[in-house]
Structure 1
């Protein structure tokens, strides 16, 4: 049985879609999953990237794309009333249900669907309080222990080369994005391509650097 680490941040519509699609995408295969909250903003900052919603034209495309993906794949989805929003309360609530850095699928599902179904304001204080009441918190969501755990999860992901969410990691191989699920399935089925030169050689390809002054 293969073990998958599913790096997620509830702010990401692609993470939500991939989470919902994962059982169907991997149907018939033997695997286990650890769902690991990380702070997407910190990943983007480390790698010098802007989030899709921070680029106006890309923001419009992203929302159209994810809504299309939802209807095309039979996944219920409505955009939150405001997006982007501050995901820290959701991430900390998730980690407050666990004694380590991972959460179970029920917790992930409860939070993802609260954000991405119904079209409400994700950061509304009353909604967050109601969400907390539905979860079995084992630690103080606002405590230093939970905050430190989120930072540790994020720092570890950065150290392993994770640059965005969702990222599924198995055997040191990383599969990014909703469309990476098909590639993940192919790997789990034992395709030997992943042991060959195309996978191993991709990071070593030289780049033609262009001056920003030209």
Structure 2
């Protein structure tokens, strides 16, 4: 059985779409998925990347694109009342339900739906209270649990950076990184033993010098 790390941040609409599509991509394979919340902002900062929401024009296109993809994919996606927003409360809440920096699919699903279905404010206090009730059976309370969640978020984000993760959603399996919703077919092909991978194209395709001057 292979172990797969699925790095996510609830602020990313593509993470919701990939989370919904992941079971189909993994169909027929014996895998264990570890859902690992990370802070997308810290990943982007590593590369001085403002992200789609930080680029005029691309921000609007992204919102239109993901809304269309959600309808086309059948999982639904309505932009929350404000975006981007500070995802820390949701990430820490998630990790207060988990173990060893991982959360289960139930928790991830509940929080993704809280953010991406209905078009409401993801950080509305009443809605957050209702979300905590949904997760109550798994949720640890108290200062120690809160501090542990903060530490696991830092550790997960550091581990993601060390693994070469530069954005979410990212899937890492056997040291190979697959990024984005549109990376899932490639992940599925890899697990299916696609000849492209066996021929050494994974390394050969990326082994190119840059033609741009160094900064």
The interval holding the TM-score normalised by the smaller chain is: over 0.9
In the other structure, the counterpart of 2:87 is: 87
Q: What CA distance in whole angstroms lies between the structure 1 residues aligned with 2:72 and 2:127? A: 29
In the other structure, the counterpart of 2:147 is: 144
In the other structure, the counterpart of 2:166 is: 163
In the other structure, the counterpart of 1:207 is: 210
In the other structure, the counterpart of 2:22 is: 22
Say which SS state the counterpart of residue 6 (structure 1) adopts: strand
TM-score, with length taken from structure 2: 0.93
TM-score, with length taken from structure 1: 0.94
In the alignment, structure 1 segments of 5+ residues that lack a partner are none
In the other structure, the counterpart of 1:4 is: 4
Q: Aligned residues, how many?
A: 212
* 1:182 aligned residue (185, 200, 203): 185
Structure 2 counterparts to residues 51-62 of structure 1, below 5 A: 51-62=51-62
In the other structure, the counterpart of 2:200 is: 197
Note the alpha carbon deviations across 1:12-68, whole angstroms, 9 max, x for none.
000000001111222222222110000000000012211101111100110111111
Contact 1:9-1:91 within 8 A present in 2 as well: yes
In the other structure, the counterpart of 2:175 is: 172
Structure 2 counterparts to residues 40-119 of structure 1, below 5 A: 40-119=40-119
Cα–Cα, structure 1 residues 20 and 144, in superposed 2: closer, same or farther, change >3 Å? same
Contact 1:96-1:140 within 8 A present in 2 as well: no
Contact 1:7-1:36 within 8 A present in 2 as well: yes
Q: Give the CA deviation at 1:195.
A: 3.5
Q: What CA distance in whole angstroms lies between the structure 1 residues aligned with 2:90 and 2:200? A: 40
In the alignment, structure 2 segments of 5+ residues that lack a partner are none
